[in-house]
Amino acid sequence: MTASTAKAQRFREFKMPDVGEGLTEAEILKWYVQPGDTVTDGQVVCEVETAKAAVELPIPYDGVVHELNFGEGVTVDVGTVIISVDTDPGAGPAEAPTANGTEQAAAATEDEDAEPQGRQAVLVGYGAAPSSTKRRARKPQPGVPAQPASAPIQAELNGRAAPAPMAAPVAAPAAPAAPVVPVAPVLPATSAAGAGSAGRPLAKPPVRKLAKDLGIDLATITPTGPGGIITREDVHAAAAPAVAPSLAEAPEPMAVATAVATAEPGIVDAAARERRVPVKGVRKATAQAMVASAFTAPHVTEFITVDVTRTMKLVQELKQDPDMAGLRVNPLLLVAKAFLVAIKRHPEVNAAWDEAHQEIVYKDYINLGIAAATPRGLIVPNIKDAGVKTLPQLAAELGDLVATAREGKTSPAAMAGGTVTITNVGVFGVDTGTPILNPGESAILAFGAVKLQPWVHKGKVAARQVTTLALSFDHRLIDGELGSKLLADIAAVLERPKRLITWG
């Protein structure tokens, strides 16, 4: 066993796993450990936020935390090393592997084999084993300085091995303390901030693309990431309005015209009153899902206004029922039960469209989704097998589901496999809406605000508690007649809740 092999076995690296369904990145919300802390196999070391949920990650090793490669609030690609653990701290001091799991930095100055580590593909779990391909490090040429220490980092960011040293170095800068940096004489000078080999700024490909889209020169950005890496936040900060460049800096003609125009009195730059927030996490996932649903499933939305006075009275009676003690009883509970009863009367509603196989999948179970507004955004966890649950069981699961969602602890599994959904827009005082289907589901019911309104009851106009329901459904699966019958049955149960017994 070589010394490098022993070192790799001693210092174990934990990569960002795919904690959802094919997710490619996650943001580190909180670290529960720091370098020097003792950890055990299965201990939770950090909390990350994916596009679907906040998830706690356990470490699969025993040992002492050697290094945290990223700070809190940083978005990390799946498959990237986020923490290294010394599994044999009693063996004495030893140099740990670099952040990308190789020893390129050390091999750059020694005449021995080194493992190049390119940018990894999306990984699942704890990542794939390192490549067995080896490449001999280049020997230093006479008169050519060695590559700077940041070269391996830049190579990893660019997805290729570190480049060879420049063949034509120039003289050192005038400042006596500055190191000699080899550059080709035909290349323009670049900023030293965040620069890798040959002055190239250190940044991951997604960050480079973001900078290009925003028109930001990476060489002008001061990096704040580990090892001098430019982060997304650095690019967005640089994109904020800056002081117009002076004419002495000889900018391009277009830049001069822009600077002069913005300097004119009475003209206010609109960008100074705008804020740009990166689209990520739940907001990003919601946007993608809604666009995919709206332009894939042909939506039809129908509305019905219904007198729910008897249902509201039943809610108050159930609150006093001993069988419902300790459970949260509200109108949404009875709307959910009415929805489930109506689906049982029309089971062909509970289906999914399989485009790949050109099949309709009819489901003999109902996973009832509940749209929940959380500080992280809109999520739709679902109650598994809701159709077979009693009213107390449904109330218990509904309460747990909402509480977990508000705490940001909903797991990806809790949001998978839904068949139909309810969205309670009435809690915001809204009468109704045209809800968009959750991808893969057949129908979504919007429950509007319950309000006292004049209503004809037993031949007389009286103040009654009235609400409006809106049902959107996939017209590939549900014809207008079937959708209308489903909505009418939901309204009928809420108008006369005794139908929960006669129809249930």
The residues carrying an active-site annotation are 475
Q: Do the beta carbons of residue 158 and residue 118 sit within 8 Å?
A: no
Contacts of 327 (CB under 8 A, 6+ apart): 392, 395, 396, 399
DSSP H or E run through 454: strand 451-457
Q: Do the beta carbons of residue 113 and residue 138 sit within 8 Å?
A: no
**CA atoms lying within 13 Å on the CB side of residue 313:** 10
Pick the closest to residue 379 from 55, 48, 53, 75 (CA basis).
53
**How far is Cα 385 from Cα 95, in angstroms, rounded to an integer?**
53
Question: What is the number of other CB atoms lying within 10 angstroms of the CB of residue 275?
Answer: 7
Sign of the torsion formed by the C-alpha atoms of 244, 250, 255 and 261: positive
Residue-wise burial string across 153-183, b where 16 or more C-beta atoms lie within 10 A, e elsewhere: bbbbbbeebbbebbeebeeeeeeeeeeebbb
Contacts of 291 (CB under 8 A, 6+ apart): none
Whose structure tokens read 């701290």?
Answer: 89
Give the pair of three-digit tokens for residue 430: 């809204």
**How far is Cα 456 from Cα 245, in angstroms, rounded to an integer?**
72
Q: How far is CA 176 from CA 166, 173, 197, 358, 446, in A?
A: 22, 7, 20, 72, 71
Q: Do the beta carbons of residue 51 and residue 281 sit within 8 Å?
A: yes
